Amino acid sequence: MAKKPIHTVPEGSGWKNVQDGKDISHHRTKENAMDKGRQQAKRDHTEHVEHNRNGRISGSNSYGNDPCPPKDKK
């Protein structure tokens, strides 16, 4: 079974990474949280989703097992 995506989300004055509803790491800065979230997503071959301070999704990257991969038009 494929692992769930990792979300980097704000938490109080810091940031955390969440996977399948469980906190997997806590960080002071968004940069540190993004680095750890990206590393974990690469290890798990899943998607990493970045959120803004207001909670909205600001970007995402897929690191394998993408259900809708891009199609080359060459």
Buried/exposed 3-28: b ≥16 CB within 10 Å, e otherwise: bebbbbbeeeeebbbbbeeeeebebe
Q: How far apart are CA 24 and CA 18, in angstroms?
A: 6
> Residue 60 is inside which H or E element, if any?
strand 57-62
Mean pLDDT per 10-residue section of the chain, whose length is 74 residues: 87 96 96 97 94 94 74 64
> Which long-range contacts does 54-63 make (Cβ < 8 Å, 24+ apart)?
55/9, 55/10, 60/5, 63/38
Q: What is the predicted pLDDT for the residue at 64?
A: 80
Rounded to two decimals, what is the model's pTM?
Answer: 0.83
DSSP class of 2: P
Q: What is the predicted pLDDT for the residue at 19?
A: 96
